[in-house]
């Protein structure tokens, strides 16, 4: 199998699976229990928090563990809305955010909030000037992702933070960094965002674990989930020690060779673009600079047919976020692409283990699909 859909989820390394098993078998206690096996589990959670926080560039106490990136995004949006509700009920976000941000924003609209959805240019980019222009005195939240999960465009979070400061805005700044964590270098303590969402399974951790960074301007966060008061009262629910162990191990492995991994992915991505764009009928979609995600279009050939054909050959790619499940991507809709270009979009996302020979196989399969009389639009 040739796996080129790392933006959907990453393969789990053996070392991560071993760490998960170890936690399940020998550290199975409830971290809230006071006897030894409970204290061991509590110590494990603390070590995992320190590992992930160090990689994110923040203090351990600023990190809240969640069940996934979606929960982290929902938590951030709802938290910011609650904190800023007395100062205003306006949100600025983008039309190309992940659904985990867009859907809670739409829920808030139904509750009387106003949301401004910034559209990207044809290259998929959003500027800090767009955000600054959209700010209002009653803006409580600005939510802009760090890396778009379908185009690979990197958005200027530091510049946006500076724009909010220059405008004297009290709005909290949230960024969905699920596709950026340990792929596009940044530190929470210098990025300028008040809230940062990350996920484990994009790095090779098991599915079902994520985290939310809480900056200094976040005051007395109202928990998204009420209950037993875990995570310092910020997120109730018995800690998922096995998933956390896998998350920490995946972070350790990625950080151990991060520079080499990023350089390799960037090299493979450049090679992939060169090979694919040399195929007649293939066009670049967006101008994403992330080292691991890019999009192209086999213009006029429905992407669902291409994905099914390549999948039968053992080549895994997608048309966009796995959350769309075959529906047209709102990202490509927002970019106002021509109909035939939009219909043929393919997302390629790579990992540290992706080889140039994988790209050669993809290029050959795409060329063969184009030449094999598959139906066009």
Residue 256 tokens read as: 């151990």
Among residues 196, 228, 216, the alpha carbon closest in space to that of 75 is found at 196
Tell me the pLDDT band of 376, cut-offs 50, 70 and 90. low
Q: What letter would DSSP give residue 195?
A: E
DSSP secondary structure letters along 130-144: HHHHH--TTEEEEE-
pLDDT, tens digit, for every residue of 250-263?
Answer: 999 999 999 999 99
Q: Which of 15-24, 64-73, 258-267, 363-372 has the lowest mean pLDDT?
A: 363-372
Separation of alpha carbons 271 and 1, rounded Å: 20
Name 117's bridge partners: 93
Q: Which CATH class is domain 2-10+257-371?
A: alpha beta
Residue position matching structure tokens 């000037």: 129
Determine the average pLDDT of the residues in 362-370.
95
Separation of alpha carbons 1 and 315, rounded Å: 6
Given a cut of 70, is residue 55 above it in pLDDT? yes
Separation of alpha carbons 242 and 249, rounded Å: 11
Task: Specify the length of the chain in residues.
Answer: 377
Q: What is the pLDDT of residue 89?
A: 97
Separation of alpha carbons 251 and 258, rounded Å: 10
Tell me the pLDDT band of 248, cut-offs 50, 70 and 90. very high
Count CA atoms closer than 13 A to 152's CA, side-chain side.
Answer: 27
Q: Where are the alpha helices (DSSP H) in the chain?
A: 14-26, 36-56, 69-84, 99-110, 128-134, 157-166, 188-191, 241-256, 258-277, 303-312, 330-334, 339-343, 356-371
Cα-Cα end-to-end distance for the chain: 29
Is residue 323 annotated as part of the catalytic site, yes or no? yes
> What is the enclosing helix (H) or strand (E) of 87?
none
Residues 6+ positions from 373 with CB-CB distance below 8 Å: none
Q: What is the pLDDT of residue 372?
A: 81
Residue tagged active-site, from 48, 58, 68, 323:
323
Q: Do 16 and 252 meet the contact criterion of CB atoms below 8 Å apart?
A: no
Separation of alpha carbons 80 and 220, rounded Å: 11
CA 95 to chain centroid, in Å, comes to 15
Other CB atoms within 10 Å distance of the CB of residue 87? 14
Tell me the pLDDT band of 377, cut-offs 50, 70 and 90. low
Dihedral (Cα; 320, 283, 311, 313), 10-degree rounding: -160
Name 349's bridge partners: 5, 293
Sequence spans of domains, the chain: 2-10+257-371
Determine the average pLDDT of the residues in 108-135.
98
Q: What is the pLDDT of residue 328?
A: 74
Among residues 325, 295, 296, 315, the alpha carbon closest in space to that of 368 is found at 315
- Strand arrangement of the beta sheet that strand 345-349 belongs to: 282-285, 293-298, 345-349
Separation of alpha carbons 112 and 140, rounded Å: 13
Given a cut of 90, is residue 274 above it in pLDDT? yes
Residues 6+ positions from 361 with CB-CB distance below 8 Å: 2, 315
- Buried b / exposed e across 273-308, counting CB within 10 Å, b at 16+? bebbeebeebbbbbebbbbbbbbbbbbebbbebbbe
Average pLDDT in the chain? 95
Q: Read off the pTM.
A: 0.96
- Buried b / exposed e across 3-33, counting CB within 10 Å, b at 16+? bbbbbbbbebbeebeebbeebeeebebebee
Separation of alpha carbons 373 and 377, rounded Å: 12
pLDDT, tens digit, for every residue of 168-217?
Answer: 999 999 999 999 999 999 999 999 999 999 999 999 999 999 999 999 99
Determine the average pLDDT of the residues in 224-241.
94
pLDDT, tens digit, for every residue of 285-342?
Answer: 999 999 999 999 999 999 999 999 999 999 999 987 655 555 678 999 999 999 999 9
């Amino acid at each position: 199998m040739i796996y080129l859909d790392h933006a959907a989820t990453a393969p789990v390394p053996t070392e991560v699976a071993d760490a998960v098993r170890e936690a399940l078998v020998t550290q199975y206690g409830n971290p809230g229990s006071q006897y030894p096996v409970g204290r061991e589990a509590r110590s494990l959670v603390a070590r995992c928090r320190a590992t992930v926080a160090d990689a994110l560039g923040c203090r351990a106490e600023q990190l809240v563990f969640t069940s996934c990136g979606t929960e982290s995004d929902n938590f951030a949006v709802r938290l910011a809305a609650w904190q800023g509700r007395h100062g205003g009920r306006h949100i600025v976000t983008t039309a190309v955010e992940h659904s985990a941000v867009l859907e809670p924003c739409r829920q808030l609209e139904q509750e009387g909030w106003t949301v401004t959805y910034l559209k990207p240019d044809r290259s998929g980019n959003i500027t800090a000037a767009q955000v600054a222009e959209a700010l209002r005195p009653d803006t409580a939240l600005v939510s802009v992702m760090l890396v778009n999960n379908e185009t690979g465009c990197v958005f200027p979070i530091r510049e946006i933070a500076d724009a909010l400061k220059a405008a004297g805005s009290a709005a909290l700044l949230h960024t969905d960094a699920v596709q950026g964590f340990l792929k596009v270098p940044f530190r929470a303590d210098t990025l300028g965002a008040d809230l940062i969402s990350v996920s484990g399974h994009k790095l090779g951790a098991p599915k079902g674990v994520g985290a939310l960074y809480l900056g200094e301007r976040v005051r007395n966060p109202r928990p998204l989930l009420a209950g037993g008061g875990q995570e310092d009262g910020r997120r109730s629910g018995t800690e998922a020690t096995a998933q956390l162990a896998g998350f920490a191990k995946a972070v350790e492995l990625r950080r151990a060779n991060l520079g080499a991994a990023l350089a390799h992915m960037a090299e493979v991505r450049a090679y992939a673009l060169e090979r694919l764009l040399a195929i007649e009928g293939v066009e670049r979609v967006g101008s994403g600079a992330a080292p691991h995600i890019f999009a192209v279009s086999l213009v006029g050939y429905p992407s669902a047919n291409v994905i099914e054909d390549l999948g039968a050959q053992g080549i895994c790619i997608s048309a966009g976020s796995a959350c769309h499940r075959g529906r047209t991507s709102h990202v490509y809709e927002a970019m106002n692409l021509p109909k035939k270009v939009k219909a043929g979009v393919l997302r390629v996302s790579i990992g540290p283990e992706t080889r140039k020979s994988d790209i050669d196989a993809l290029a050959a399969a795409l060329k063969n699909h184009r030449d094999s009389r598959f139906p066009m639009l």
